[in-house]
Amino acid sequence: MWSLRMRASLLEKNREIHISGAEGIYKFEELERVLKKYLKRALEHPNGTPDKVVLTVEKIKEEIQSIRALPIETVFCYTPEQAQKFIDSRLADLGISEKAIALAWSIIRGQKMRGAALIDCLTAERLEPDKDRGIRVSRIQMDKKRKIQILKKVKKLTSEPQRVIEAVTVASKVASVPEIIAEICVSDNPDYTTGYISSKKFGYLRITNIKKEGTPIGGRAFFVKTPIDIERLIKFLEKTPVIVK
Ligand code: PML
Ligand code: MG
Ligand code: MG
């Protein structure tokens, strides 16, 4: 099997600004078709035309792990305030401190990061080594059967079912880590206003109107229980190939 990744960015004052990304695990015969699809996606992204597109094609040599997809629910909120109230209370139920939750919101509403922030769920300490880059969840693919089942479930609820599939794939790998208690995600796409919170406890909860339409904010944060071997955690999330079933 092969890992395919696409990353498109804008270059501004020597700084790379992420505009879109995609990735998956595929058979050799699928590489050409999927690479074309990724390139098209990079060049036609609503966040703008990129200055740089990186396509990575890598043969997977290690064993691919298999994990369960989180169950999906949609929670209908009508304003960002209502969404935040709901989210804050669900995260607090998991034992995440007020400080840690507030930090996650400030990261999501602050400067754009390419990856996710890692937050100590009690002390609110930022744990990832590179705070600009964050942690990226990579080497993931959803199994075809599960994909079809999820598409059926969400097709009436979203204009972009593919986005849901990709987000559930990320969230399921993240939630499989024993020390990660929860994740929060707001899309950085200005017009995609549904986000999610996820955890082993309550699954993947899609939250509508998590932000106002047209807002370019977004990001991801993972809440972790310490002590934790950060290097090992990052290696698993970024490098270990996983199929979500
Ligand atoms: C959904 O369930 O509708 C997806 C929400 C998160 C999308 C994150 C992203 O922009 O890819
Ligand atoms: Mg995006
Ligand atoms: Mg942000």
**pLDDT value at position 226?**
97
Cα 245 to ligand 1 centre (Å): 19
Name the residue with the closest Cα to ligand 1, atom 8: 187
229 vs 240: CA distance, rounded Å: 15
CA distance 132 to 141: 26
Q: Where are the domains of the chain?
A: 2-61, 66-244
Q: Let me know if 235 is exposed, middle or buried by CB neighbors in 10 A (0-12, 13-18, 19+).
A: exposed
Q: What percent of the chain clears pLDDT 90, i.e. is strictly above it?
A: 90
pLDDT at 45: 81
CB proximity list for 89: less than 8 A, separation 6 or greater = none
Q: Is 26 in the pocket of ligand 1 (CB under 6 A)?
A: no
- How far, in Å, from the CA of 182 to the mean position of ligand 2? 20
ipTM of the shown complex: 0.92
Q: Confidence band (pLDDT; 50, 70, 90) for 111? A: confident
Residue-wise pLDDT tens digits, 172-183: 999 999 999 999
CA 19 to ligand 2 centroid distance, Å: 7
Beta bridge partners of 142: 244
